[in-house]
Amino acid sequence: MFTSFKRIIKWGLTNFWRNGWLSTATVSIMTLTLLVITVLLMLNVVANVVLANLQNKIDISVYFKLETHEEEILQVKSQLERLEEVKDVSYVSQNEALIRFKEKHQDNPVLLQSLEELEFNPLEASLNIKARQANQYASINQFLESVYYKDLIDKVNYMQNKDIIEKLNKIVVDVKTGGLGLSALLALIVFLVTFNSIRLAIYSSREEINVMKLVGASKWFIRGPFFVEGVLYGLVATIVTILILYPLFYFLSPKISGFLPIGDVFSYFKVNLLSFFLLLLGIGVILGGFSTMIAVRKYLKE
């Protein structure tokens, strides 16, 4: 069995080198695809960081009626913190709201004087709520609109931020959908190119295959060398991709890192080099191996 395995590997390597131009074309297409996928992955990382920063700047504030006791507000805060959608809840007391208001309007003495003339603090206590995802603010707002809290809450500024929240949520969905769609299209192109390359390789080896069939060789023994060839496409394409990306990110990093939230692109790539290599290798080998198996199976059935 070990001898058969060695022969399969040997014939697979022989086919890969014998079909030089075909192998070069297939590896080139697969390399281009892996390069684009890597760029998409990097853009996805950047987009996620940017979107996370935007999401951290968005919240909804709940303002409580002046007669609401602090214990009741803290009870609402406790209930909100139990919700799966809620990432963080911060309490702003009336006194803290007053201090913030004075700091914000310190250059407006008329407004501050008017505030001093009042015999009470007109500013309401509030809760600032941050959701885990932009699309979860609606359910949090629905929770706050329940009958139990209506007597305590004066207003919720969800409607003021609704357009921003919905636009952010749409951007998140569009980025993910666009990346997946383009990756799927490229994967399909690689599949078709590899499929046809293997079909041509099978055609050029048709006499050898017919001889193996006549002497009773198993289907796996016939398929094996072509599967090895398909896997080699993925392996070589991955190595070539890394060899292109490493110097590319090295030279581009000083020019583009200042514009990106992840900082030094080359350092990020270098730290995650093994992860990138394994991911690209997995994609390349799966695409190469799968398309090969489909092509060989189709031929053996004919």
CATH of the domain at 69: 3.30.70.3040
The answer on 83 and 41 residing in a single domain is no
pLDDT tens over the chain, length 302 residues: 555 667 777 777 777 777 777 778 888 888 888 888 888 877 777 777 777 777 777 788 889 988 888 999 999 899 999 999 999 999 999 889 888 888 887 887 777 777 777 778 888 899 999 888 877 888 888 888 875 777 888 888 876 666 776 777 677 778 778 877 877 887 788 778 777 777 777 776 666 666 666 666 666 666 777 788 888 888 999 999 999 998 988 888 777 766 666 667 788 888 888 998 998 898 888 888 777 777 777 666 65
Tell me the pLDDT tens digit for each residue of 126-167.
Answer: 999 988 887 788 888 888 887 577 788 888 887 666 677 677
Q: What pLDDT digit, counting tens, does each position of 93-124 carry?
A: 988 988 888 888 788 777 777 777 777 888 88
Domain match, 49 and 65 both? no
Domain, as residue range, for 95: 58-161
Q: Are residues 134 and 10 in the same domain?
A: no
Asked if 108 and 44 sit in the same domain, the reply is no
Q: 180 with 44, same domain? A: yes
pLDDT given for residue 149 in this prediction: 72
Please identify, among 133, 161, 189, the residue that sits at the C-terminal boundary of a domain.
161
Q: Which of 161, 196, 221 is the last residue of a domain?
A: 161
Say which residue the tokens 């993910």 belong to. 176
Indicate if 184 and 39 belong to the same structural domain: yes
How far apart are alpha carbons 153 and 173 in whole angstroms?
Answer: 32
For residues 237 and 153, state if they share a domain: no
Edge to edge, what strands does the sheet with 126-131 contain? 86-92, 126-131, 60-64, 153-156
Do residues 157 and 173 both lie within one domain? no
Q: Considering 161, 186, 213, which residue would you say is the last residue of a domain? A: 161
Instruction: Count structural domains, the chain.
Output: 2
Q: Are 187 and 281 in the same domain?
A: yes
- Note if the pTM is more than 0.85: no
46 lies in the same domain as 175 = yes
> Do 222 and 242 fall into the same domain?
yes
- Give yes or no: residues 116 and 253 share one domain: no
